[in-house]
Amino acid sequence: MERIPILKMGPFLLVTIQVDLYDRLALTLENDLINMVSKTEAKGVLIDISAVSIVDSFMGRILGNIASMSKIMDATTVVVGMQPAVAITLVELGLTLSGVHTALDVEQGMELLRDKIGQLDKDEEGLYDSFI
Amino acid sequence: MIVLSKEKLPIQREQDVVLFRNRIKELATKIGMSLVNQTKLITAASELVRNMLRYGGGGITHLEIVSRNSIPGVRLIFVDEGPGIKDVTLAMKDGYSTGKSLGLGLPGAKRLVNEFDIKSESGKGTTVTIIRWKNGL
Amino acid sequence: MNKESAAALKSKKKQILENWLSNQLQDAALRDDLMSVAELQQQSEEFLTALIKAFGTSSAEDTDSEGYEPIRDILNEISISRARQGFSPRETSSYILSLKEVLSNVLEDRFKEDPATLYREIISMNKIMDSLSMVTMETYIKGREEVILRQTNEMSEISTPVIRVWEGILALPIIGTLDSARTQVVMEALLEEIVATGSRIAILDISGVPTVDSLVAQHLIKTVSAARLMGAECIISGIRAEIAQTIVHLGIDLTNIYTKATLASALKMSFSMLNIQVTRATGTSQNNKQNFGF
């Protein structure tokens, strides 16, 4: 069965979607990705959709699900490279993906993830400090 | 309105959807539709074809190039013989779903096209017709 | 129109053309700056030939009939081209009206001895020419409308320049009313530019937007949402006091959107979002002047 590869880069997981998704493929990706987060204890998930020409409500929901599920497992999700036409269509459709972080490209997405993780570390330190 | 070309595509499995989307893209490109309008049309079609597979058990799609006042457009008709929709007005509301989806499918698809028509009869099936004009907003 | 008058007009064609042309040339309204005499002559001759032919047909008084098709074509062409060239309505209609006078003279000569026929024929000819002048005016207006439409399209394209104000910061000054069509153009241009330049912040300046109603606000919110989906943040600037008032009175929720009163403060905000610090260079103003090459 067709599968979308997931790459591990340090504390991050990287997914580049190169094909147009159909529902089952998207569901498989959701499944694989969440299992990977759990297995590798990844701190961040980066999904590159710059090659995707269609995102409908189902695919939008999958992206939102991945973000929410990762968040429960303490990982930040960032979706990068959404095409202008896709963004305009999603807004018209009524989907704003409010729980999902976005960035223009992989580079900026990585930067965002690093920022978020740095912040987390600091927050935890602060928590520790106030503890003692 | 004149129909310039027409073809039929049966949709029985999920994989048929990819072929269906590609065919719409070809038609839209042929009449010179802009990328944003193409994306809106294909996304709307994607929503409708999913409904057809999920609730109607598959069906037939008609893909046509039409022309009105010498402005070309793409018309898509989705015909299934499923259980039909009990309350069409309710189904057209944002956030309403009998399944576990977001309930954006039908109302969202309507917002993405220029013309939208739905006819459904309980027990007999559903027919949805959409048109997106070349430069329609 | 009877056969005799048609024949009379046909036989006097050369004379009619001459008189008509001299009428047109005499007319103070003729714009020799817009059209050469040779051009006018050729156009008029073509028209007269077609008209006289149509007079000879049985349905001469019905200008919608098939016989008048070439005539209507020529008139359409003349009116449209005159509308585009900037002729006034008077100048455009004088083309057909000056012919009426010449035709009347010819008919008067022919039926000098028979006032009853002359009267009937003049009425008939008048009817045809009036109806043709209506065609001229209709087409003229259509031509002007085309010009207006083209200008509107051009304007909506020109009036939405996306400016790169800093590395990673775009500005889009919106001038004029935002309707759905315009928003789509603006939105697309902005989003394309965001991708092309990799800019993380876009400032939408609405100081040039006369009024903001709920529809305009909705369009702005859509643009901001689309930019966010792509990973860019938008700041709306140039919000005047009266616009702030309308927004609140209409109950439009802009709480999720960054807003600033001026473009300058929006730029300042973008700097802090991107961790950019702009400081005044130390040193005398003399030095600075030298730096600018004064």
Q: For the structural domain made of B2-133, what CATH number should be given?
A: 3.30.565.10
**pLDDT tens string B24-52:** 999 999 999 999 999 999 999 999 998 89
Structural domains in chain A, sorted by start: 6-131 (3.30.750.24)
Q: Any idea where the domains of chain B sit in the sequence? A: 2-133
Alpha carbons C39 and A70: distance in angstroms, whole number? 77
Structural domains in chain C, sorted by start: 3-153 (1.10.490.130), 163-273 (3.30.750.24)
Q: How many helices (H) and strands (E) does chain B have?
A: 4, 5
Query: Is A57 part of the contact surface with chain B (CB cutoff 8 Å)?
Result: yes
Optimal mutation site among C184, C185, C222, C225, interface B, most CBs of chain B within 10 A: C184
User: How many contacts does A have with C, using Cβ atoms within 8 A?
Assistant: 57
Q: Report residue B44 as tokens.
A: 């709307």
* pLDDT at position B79: 93
pLDDT at B110 over 60: yes
Query: Is A93 part of the contact surface with chain C (CB cutoff 8 Å)?
Result: no
Q: With contact defined as beta carbons under 8 Å apart, do C143 and C75 qualify?
A: no
Query: Is C188 part of the contact surface with chain B (CB cutoff 8 Å)?
Result: yes
* pLDDT at position C26: 76
Q: Does A82 contact C229 at a Cβ distance shorter than 8 Å?
A: yes
* Mean pLDDT confidence for B63-86: 90
Query: Is C215 part of the contact surface with chain B (CB cutoff 8 Å)?
Result: no
User: How many contacts does A have with B, using Cβ atoms within 8 A?
Assistant: 67
Scanning chain C, the segments in alpha helix (DSSP H) are 3-11, 13-26, 37-55, 69-85, 89-110, 115-158, 180-197, 214-230, 241-249, 263-273, 285-291
Closest chain B residue to the Cα of C180, Cα to Cα = B137
pLDDT at B100 over 80: no
Give the residue among A12, A58, A16 at the shortest CA–CA distance from A37: A12
Q: How far is B33 from chain C (nearest CA, A)?
A: 14
- CA B42-B47-B49 angle, 5° bins: 90
Residues of chain C with pLDDT under 50: none
Q: How far is A94 from chain C (nearest CA, A)?
A: 10
pLDDT at A129 over 80: no
Predicted-complex ipTM score: 0.86
Q: How far is C187 from chain A (nearest CA, A)?
A: 8
Question: What is the H or E stretch that residue B80 is in?
Answer: strand B71-80
Q: How far is A80 from chain C (nearest CA, A)?
A: 7
Please indicate whether residue A109 or residue C41 has the higher confidence score (pLDDT): A109
For chain A, the farthest-separated pair of C-alpha atoms sits apart, in whole angstroms, at: 53
Q: Does A92 contact B40 at a Cβ distance shorter than 8 Å?
A: yes
Alpha carbons C99 and C24: distance in angstroms, whole number? 9
Closest chain B residue to the Cα of C191, Cα to Cα = B36
At which residue do the structure tokens 């079609």 appear?
B45
Query: Is A9 part of the contact surface with chain B (CB cutoff 8 Å)?
Result: no
Burial of C184 (0-12, 13-18, 19+ CB in 10 A): buried
Percent of chain B past pLDDT 90, that is, above it, reads 50
Closest chain C residue to the Cα of A78, Cα to Cα = C231
* Mean pLDDT confidence for B108-115: 92
Q: With contact defined as beta carbons under 8 Å apart, do B61 and B103 qualify?
A: no
A101: CB partners within 8 A, 6+ apart: A67, A76, A77, A78, A79, A112, A116
Residues of chain C with Cβ-Cβ distance to A104 below 8 Å are: 194-195, 198-200, 230-232
**pLDDT tens string A40-91:** 999 999 999 999 999 988 899 999 999 999 999 999 999 999 999 999 999 9
Alpha carbons B114 and A56: distance in angstroms, whole number? 18
Backbone angles phi, psi at A18, to 5 degrees: -105, -10
